[in-house]
Amino acid sequence: MAAAFLLIAVVLTSGVILVGAAVGLIGVHPVVRFLAIAALVLLVLLVARGGRRFRRIAINVSELVDAAGRIEAGDYGVQVAERGPREVRTFARAFNAMSARLAATDRDRRAFVADLAHEFRTPLAIIRGQAEGIGDGVYPGDAQHVAPILDATNSLETLVEALGTMTLADVGSLRLHREAVDVAVLVNSSLSAFQSMADAAQVRLVADVAADIPAIDADPARIRGVLANLLSNAIRYTPAGGVITVSAQRAGDSVSIAVRDTGQGIPEELRPRVFERFVKAAGSPGAGLGLAIARDIVVAHGGTIDLTSEVGKGTEVRLTLPIAH
């Protein structure tokens, strides 16, 4: 009899919590509310299937409710035992998979915030140091001492713009003003914009665009920004006397555009992670966001981007974009 009363108490408590969370009477995280609704449905189904089965899952449901509460409190890595009837095991596996994803997302978020704070710290330190020096009379307020402030401000502006692009890409709200874009014009105008930088680095720029190549369906400003990032990287890491070639050719229903250099190449251990955020080679002056943003933009177009590299021989970044119809 005592066991029966205990079972009833557990069931009623679980039911009240589940119903309250499901309908919003109990303030919970949206994820927890979804779990409550799912668990409530599971509970009802099992009750309908028979008392014995119902008694077997009462404690399991209570564990799920407790785990959902722990997720609400921030313990995203909580796992539940995958035991009991088939329905309960299936629900528990789904719960654990969701919990694992939440934990991974939380780790990524924390790492992103830490990296972001690091990237902001350097230009802010430069601005503050130079400004204090000028304000205290240590430095004269001339162009030479104001220039570092302007450079650091430009770095911050670029970083903020990059973060805006990534945020929009993450939520699927990256707006593209698509139109038919002439690939030859796109490639040649991009090379012309970097000609003076290439001349200063004593690097030769070459265009290799196939004849009669079709137009691509793309946002010209966004794709020009992708090529600008690839070209600036290539020029920065290609020694004097090197060559950078931008080629374009048709590839089925897409156009393949490649930026190939004869530079120093990317270390093998870094290659698998080059499209991740804040990943960069030692000594790189950038924030490590350029290739990540390039990937976001190309993917938003429905295209692909990949990289091949060999230390001492150079790097090639190839992207494909859909043909305009």
Q: How confident is the model at residue 254 (pLDDT cuts 50, 70, 90)?
A: very high
Q: How confident is the model at residue 271 (pLDDT cuts 50, 70, 90)?
A: confident
Kindly state the average pLDDT of the residues 296-309.
93
Per-range mean pLDDT, top range of 117-121, 188-192, 263-267:
188-192
The predicted structure's pLDDT at residue 57 = 56
Kindly state the average pLDDT of the residues 53-77.
69
Beta bridge partners of 305: 319
pLDDT above 90: residue 308: yes
Q: How confident is the model at residue 245 (pLDDT cuts 50, 70, 90)?
A: very high
Q: Which two tokens stand for residue 156?
A: 């911050």
Q: How confident is the model at residue 315 (pLDDT cuts 50, 70, 90)?
A: very high
The predicted structure's pLDDT at residue 243 = 96
pLDDT above 70: residue 2: no
**Percent of the chain surpassing pLDDT 90:** 30
The predicted structure's pLDDT at residue 159 = 75
Q: How confident is the model at residue 141 (pLDDT cuts 50, 70, 90)?
A: confident
Distance from CA of residue 214 to its chain's centroid?
A: 31
The predicted structure's pLDDT at residue 45 = 55
Give 77-84's long-range contacts (Cβ < 8 A, gap of 24+). Answer: 77/102, 77/103, 84/56, 84/57, 84/60
Q: Which two tokens stand for residue 256?
A: 């393949």
